[in-house]
Structure 1
């Protein structure tokens, strides 16, 4: 009986974690919610709430990349396309193994 409860709790935590990770990846509004929650937790007086707010805030600042509105352009998606690589001017010979 006790193992069933523990198993249910573990499975629930795994499913909730997977759902949160998927939402963070595919729904940009979740980052805003996380930022608002982190700000509220940082303003609270509890130690655990303040610690959790710091952890959430660090995750947001470390995330960066596309969709983060930080303007860094690390993925290259915002910049001009790169120039095509120069082609070799020699004749390319392909040989098959016999």
Structure 2
């Protein structure tokens, strides 16, 4: 009778142990990188607002400045969280 014995694989064990942490860290890092790409568009809109300040509504400037701050903060926090997760995984 043939045995159902599988040869042990270190790679298979590492994937089972670290895949959830690695995937979640990579997802957070991807979102943070996408937010970083949004920053130049917000800056461009803010510069357009400043150039046409006479015709634009005042609330638009507040929204642009707040969104710039929020996007940069989320990108920074996301990037640092991903780095922290990778370092934590490396210490295990």
TM-score interval for Structure 1 and Structure 2 normalised by the shorter chain:
0.3 to 0.5
Larger radius of gyration: 1
TM-score, reference length from structure 1? 0.37
TM-score norm. by structure 2 comes to 0.39
